[in-house]
Amino acid sequence: MKVLVADDDPISVLYLQDVLSEWGYQVVVAADGLTAEAILRQADGPLLAVLDWMMPGRDGIDVCHNIRQAGMERYVYMIMLTSRTETEFIVAAMNAGADDYIAKPFIAEEMRVRVRAGRRIVDLEQELRRQATRDALTGIFNRGAILDLLQKEIARRARTPECLSVIFADLDHFKRINDTYGHLAGDEVLREATQRMAAALRTYDAFGRYGGEELLAVLPDCDPEGALIVAERMRSAMADASVPTAYGEIAVTVSIGIASVSHAGAADMTGLLHRADGALYAAKLRGRNFIAV
Catalog residues that contact ligand GH3 under the rule CB under 6 A: 137, 170-176, 178, 183, 186-187, 190, 212-213, 284, 288
Residue nearest to ligand GH3 (CB): 186
Cα(129)–Cα(122) distance, rounded to whole angstroms? 11
Cβ–Cβ < 8 Å for 27, 101: no
Cα(174)–Cα(180) distance, rounded to whole angstroms? 10
Cα(271)–Cα(66) distance, rounded to whole angstroms? 37
| Closer to Mg ion by Cβ: residue 54 or 269 | 54
Tally Cβ neighbours within 10 Å of residue 29. Answer: 17
Q: Among 228, 238, 133, which Cα is nearest to 191's?
A: 238
The pairing of beta strand 248-250 with beta strand 77-82: unpaired
Cβ–Cβ < 8 Å for 79, 100: yes
274 touches which of ligand GH3, Mg ion, none (CB within 5 to 8 A by kind)?
Answer: none
- What residue type is assigned to position 120 of the chain? R
Cβ–Cβ < 8 Å for 173, 260: no
Q: Among 245, 271, 272, 269, which Cα is nearest to 259's?
A: 272
Residues classed as catalytic: 213
Cα(191)–Cα(184) distance, rounded to whole angstroms? 11
Residue nearest to Mg ion (CB): 54
| Closer to ligand GH3 by Cβ: residue 35 or 255 | 255
Question: Closest separation between CB of residue 188 and ligand GH3, Å?
Answer: 8
Question: Closest separation between CB of residue 277 and ligand GH3, Å?
Answer: 12
54 touches which of ligand GH3, Mg ion, none (CB within 5 to 8 A by kind)?
Answer: Mg ion
137 touches which of Mg ion, ligand GH3, none (CB within 5 to 8 A by kind)?
Answer: ligand GH3
Binding footprint of Mg ion on the chain (CB under 5 A): 8, 52, 54, 170-171, 174, 212, 214
Question: Closest separation between CB of residue 177 and ligand GH3, Å?
Answer: 8
284 touches which of Mg ion, ligand GH3, none (CB within 5 to 8 A by kind)?
Answer: ligand GH3
Question: Closest separation between CB of residue 252 and ligand GH3, Å?
Answer: 9
Question: Closest separation between CB of residue 170 and ligand GH3, Å?
Answer: 5
135 touches which of ligand GH3, Mg ion, none (CB within 5 to 8 A by kind)?
Answer: none
